[in-house]
Amino acid sequence: MNLLTEDSIREVEQLTEQIMQESSARGIAVGVTDADGNILYERYFGWRDAEKKLPVNRDTIFGMASVTKSFTALSIMQMQMDGRLNVNDCVKDYVPEFTNKNQEEAVRIWHLMCHSGGYFPLPRIVVDKTAQEMGICDSLEEELIYREDFAEEGIRRVAGRLDAQTHFTGRPGQRLSYCNDGFGLLSDIVRRHSDCSSFAEYLEKHIFRPLGMERSNISFIRNSQDENAAVLYSQNTDGSWRADRDYENDAFVLHGGGALKSTLGDMLKYVAMYLNEGRGANGNRIIDRYSVQEMCKPRQYMKPGVYYGYGLETKQLGDMTVLEHGGSLPGVSSNLSFCPQAGIGVIVLCNTMDVPAYAIGDAVMRACCGLPVLEERTAHQPYQWTEEERRQLAGAYVSGEGDSFTLEEQNGGLSMKMNGKEVSLQPVYPWQGMVRKKYTDVYLTAVRDEDGNVFAAHYGSRIFPKKSV
């Protein structure tokens, strides 16, 4: 199904240009494929290097950030298909550094694949700082992504930090709270228990080469020296902009959560594989249909109408299902989506941070399906929180990743400040509110213990613990 028209294409491109202006985006690549690998639409906006006015093309390398998670989940499912593991197995049986010591129930592989290991958000353990503390550096001759000593130090730090938590979002498998460290552990399982000596080698052997993804990798140093790699644009806290090819900037020490770099051309090949339930458009089958279907099943609630599977989110587009994942890092905004019923895959890549690539992806998908380019937003019925709800929700909530928000009782409702800035919180259901942003709605939901007391709040994709008074 490809119901793009000249009018809808014009509307999509106007929206993209509007978003670029609003977000100071430097370069964006947008592409649409069908299951046969036919590119139905592609358009390049702006520059891969704005200072030199170098254009974006199909082979320009962008960071993928958290789109990487679908590759990690796919790798685990391939290993299960090959009989090397089962997603119901305990993580500690594959990663001895992870002891699961402070949780009464075992964390299993599938829990990590859908962010439900029970962990509150934690500060990032990053590549450059870890390498510096080890006294090593990245080089083309000895890349960090292949070094066993670097991988072992990374897993020691990440697993030890998870083991040190004593308070949890709930039982393993009970609730979703986005956890990059969990996907780091998954990539270490791939490194240790596959037929390859590194996660990088596994991706190259089992995904990239079979699908013909010739410009994809999880390297840092290689891309920094690639002439057709995008310059990364990120904003500093003082409002100034940073422009470089530092692909290590804020990168996780374990690579399964966000290390992928790729191109529009390669990613269209990748998304076509999902449309064919495991077979590339080139005819190479890399995984069975059952495993792809397992990845796409909704398993954990994210917000009304949106659930998380294994490395993929799922939502409804009318009576059709859309699977997707976005990514965000310094100099990176990305989005992958596909609709099995429509037989359409959409990729949006950007070399600037905090750009709503998902909004462009949604608009393109809707246009391809013959729907209005802009989604009609949910109109909630008026609701007022009870005195008990307001009293319990009021307080400060602090994430280990650095974000925080406060809720204060005010005029019979709750006022909200996110990172010190006022936002408009609308009560929509018991124990749940919504912040309406320009291109998406973010829901805040109370997390309560067995006695009904609020001990945290789910905001966006994270659970924020409530700060003790």
Mean pLDDT, each 10-residue run in order, the chain (469 residues): 90 98 98 97 98 98 98 98 98 97 96 98 96 96 97 98 96 97 98 98 98 98 96 93 95 97 98 98 98 98 96 95 98 98 98 98 96 90 94 96 95 94 96 96 97 97 88
In a domain, 381, yes or no: no
- What span, in angstroms and rounded, lies between the C-alpha atoms of 261 and 223? 8
In a domain, 277, yes or no: yes
Domain boundary among 376, 401, 423: 376
- What is the predicted pLDDT for the residue at 469? 47
- What span, in angstroms and rounded, lies between the C-alpha atoms of 241 and 213? 32
**63 plus 155 within the same structural domain:** yes
**328 plus 394 within the same structural domain:** no
Residue 314 gets which letter from DSSP? E
**347 plus 396 within the same structural domain:** no
- What is the predicted pLDDT for the residue at 214? 98
Whichever domain contains 454, its CATH number is: 2.40.128.50
Q: pTM (2 decimals)?
A: 0.97
Q: Which phi and psi (to 5°) does residue 33 adopt?
A: -130, 160
**Closest-CA residue to 31 (of 283, 340, 350, 253):** 350
- What span, in angstroms and rounded, lies between the C-alpha atoms of 343 and 313? 17
Whichever domain contains 28, its CATH number is: 3.40.710.10
**129 plus 249 within the same structural domain:** yes
- What is the predicted pLDDT for the residue at 378? 87
Edge-first strand order for the sheet with 306-308 is 54-55, 39-49, 27-34, 344-350, 332-339, 320-329, 313-317, 306-308, 300-303
CA distances from residue 387 to 384, 413, 431, 434, 447 in whole angstroms, order as listed: 9, 9, 11, 18, 17
- What span, in angstroms and rounded, lies between the C-alpha atoms of 212 and 228? 18
In a domain, 99, yes or no: yes
277's torsion region: left (phi>0), alpha (psi -120 to 50) or beta?
A: left
In a domain, 382, yes or no: no
**174 plus 273 within the same structural domain:** yes
Q: Which two tokens stand for residue 272?
A: 């076509």
Domain boundary among 336, 352, 376: 376
H-state helical runs in 297-344: none
Q: What is the domain extent for residue 396?
A: 387-465
**293 plus 397 within the same structural domain:** no
- What is the predicted pLDDT for the residue at 2? 81
- What is the predicted pLDDT for the residue at 29? 98
**353 plus 228 within the same structural domain:** yes
Domain boundary among 345, 376, 407: 376
**312 plus 442 within the same structural domain:** no
The amino acid sitting at 249 is N
- What is the predicted pLDDT for the residue at 176? 98
* Count of the separate structural domains present in the chain: 2
Question: Rg of the chain's alpha carbons, rounded to an integer?
Answer: 22
Q: Which residues contact 345 (CB under 8 A, 6 or more apart)?
A: 32, 33, 34, 268, 271, 272, 274, 275, 336, 337, 338, 339
**420 plus 328 within the same structural domain:** no
**330 plus 447 within the same structural domain:** no
